[in-house]
Structure 1
Amino acid sequence: MKFSLSALTAAALIATAPWAAAQNVAIVNGKAVPTARVAALEQQIVASGRQIDDATRAQIKEEVVLREVFVQEAQKRGIAATADFKSQMELARQTIMIRALFADYQKKNPVTDAEIKAEYDKFTAANGGKEYRARHILVEKEDEAKAIIAAIKGGAKFEDQAKAKSKDPGSGANGGDLDWANAASYVTEFSEAMIKLDKGQMTPEPVKSQFGFHIIRVDDVRQAKLPAFEELKPQIAQQMQQQKLAEFQRSLREKAKVQ
């Protein structure tokens, strides 16, 4: 039996048709749209933290087809030749390249577990020790502060005096309550006076700071309760990665010869 060349060609096309179809998501106005475009969009969605199901995958395919339709129309209208399009394309090219540069740097310069642990140790050293549950009343003049101290010693409630006279809008309405905090959270004059007080004690004299005059009372003292290393590790790692990247950016700027 003899086969013509045309018959062999047709048979070959039929044999390769499923393979060719697998490479394309669609044919739009005679132009093939590769499935690689679908994969690229899927990667972007996954990178953003979203899951891809069948419905999302169908939406992505339709999006790819629509883009091809719109691009073909833009090409027909000569959009690619306009100055605005060219300038926007250059900006997009720069953005993509810069993003790839930063991703490459972070991949090659990861934050190590040892670096994260060292940063955690610095955090615990700065925030460990004692925490104080304190209250304060803030006024502008020393004489006014002394009068409030005298009134409290005479039987007036500290909380009522704070609500009525404190200039600190954050704590005044709450009876002067500053919640739990370590001494380093306050200005030096305030913290130095506070740590000298025992539980339930009030400063016998007004404490002057840049904000005015304070009357301070310590309601309770406890050892600081800090989060465990594993709990803070992801947050510290992210912060350190950002710091490394920022330093990389600064170093490039400093080395660049700009005239």
Structure 2
Amino acid sequence: MKKVLLAALAAATLGIALPASAQNVAIVNGKPVPKARVDMLAMQLAKAGRPVPPEMQAQLRDEVIAREIFMQEAQKRGLDATDDFKAQIELARQTILIRELFADFQKKNPVTDADLKAEYDKFAQANGGKEYKARHILVEKEDEAKKILDDLKKGAKFEDIAKKASKDPGSGANGGDLDWAAPGSYVPEFSNAMVKLAKGQTTPAAVQTQFGWHIIRVDDIREAQVPKFEELRPQIAQQMQQMKLQQFQDGLRKNAKVE
């Protein structure tokens, strides 16, 4: 064993090629199965997020040998000469080549830290400001809304009326609760009326939108809770990479001469 190891080391040092059998994992029906196939399969599995541990190498070898056995049988039956097989090979070739093109583009055009920070700053600016925890009661007619306002002035509970009368299926069952949201989350008529209210106030008159008539109450106001840069960094990076790739694809389509 020691002599074999020394011989291999000497061959590697002097650049001498080892026998072909050392580069193969097996010989199936007289045809060598190169070790490179095992390495390639392991690499593909690793790229897919399934790295092969050392103890699984034997299974990988068996898989490669089994593929060679099945491939030889398919060739013996002439299946590699059919039009269907040739068409599938061409589609597979195109898929692999396109994947390599996109991977090469992304490698040469990475998203920089400056790009990520600039995108985050735009997000933070758009989602900053105040958030409102509001409730509303939605009805179809203004007369209904006016009656509800009168009932509220007489001491009726907002939550109880919302559960009974609100046409908004999402919030009605929860007493009209809309949870925390920025003004931009609502249609302009609604948000314009809401931001004029202080904590605990209810709109003095019903507000009309495309959905009907709203009576709005603001339960609380706070500064928007914008996630920190490091929390959003992976999502921003993925989105920007996809955007860059899409622009690259669009550019290729635009500049291509299609007749």
The answer to whether TM tops 0.5 is yes
How far 1:50 sits from its partner (Å)?
2.7
Secondary structure of 1:111's counterpart equals coil
Q: Tell me what 1:224 maps to.
A: 224
* AA matched with 1:217: R
* AA matched with 1:171: S
Q: Distance in 1 between matches of 2:177 and 2:51?
A: 45
Q: Tell me what 2:144 maps to.
A: 144
Does 106-115 or 46-55 show the bigger shift?
Answer: 46-55
Q: Tell me what 1:64 maps to.
A: 64
Cα–Cα, structure 1 residues 83 and 194, in superposed 2: closer, same or farther, change >3 Å? Answer: same
Q: Tell me what 1:235 maps to.
A: 235
How far 1:56 sits from its partner (Å)?
3.5
How far 1:20 sits from its partner (Å)?
3.4
Q: Distance in 1 between matches of 2:69 and 2:204?
A: 80
After TM superposition, the score normalised by the length of structure 1 is: 0.89
* AA matched with 1:207: V
Q: Distance in 2 between matches of 1:19 and 1:208?
A: 86
Does 126-135 or 32-41 show the bigger shift?
Answer: 32-41
How far 1:190 sits from its partner (Å)?
0.9
Cα–Cα, structure 1 residues 155 and 34, in superposed 2: closer, same or farther, change >3 Å? Answer: same
Q: Distance in 1 between matches of 2:136 and 2:234?
A: 36
Q: Distance in 2 between matches of 1:136 and 1:57?
A: 63
Q: Distance in 2 between matches of 1:208 and 1:58?
A: 71
Q: Tell me how many residue pairs correspond in the alignment.
A: 244
Cα–Cα, structure 1 residues 22 and 198, in superposed 2: closer, same or farther, change >3 Å? Answer: farther
Q: Distance in 2 between matches of 1:57 and 1:216?
A: 66
How far 1:86 sits from its partner (Å)?
0.7
Q: Distance in 1 between matches of 2:57 and 2:196?
A: 65
Does 117-126 or 184-193 show the bigger shift?
Answer: 184-193
Cα–Cα, structure 1 residues 17 and 210, in superposed 2: closer, same or farther, change >3 Å? Answer: same
Q: Tell me what 2:80 maps to.
A: 80
Q: Distance in 2 between matches of 1:36 and 1:198?
A: 71
Does 137-146 or 52-61 show the bigger shift?
Answer: 52-61
Secondary structure of 1:214's counterpart equals strand
Q: Tell me what 1:197 maps to.
A: 197
Q: Distance in 2 between matches of 1:44 and 1:162?
A: 57
Q: Distance in 2 between matches of 1:101 and 1:232?
A: 28
How far 1:57 sits from its partner (Å)?
2.9
After TM superposition, the score normalised by the length of structure 2 is: 0.89
Secondary structure of 2:101's counterpart equals helix
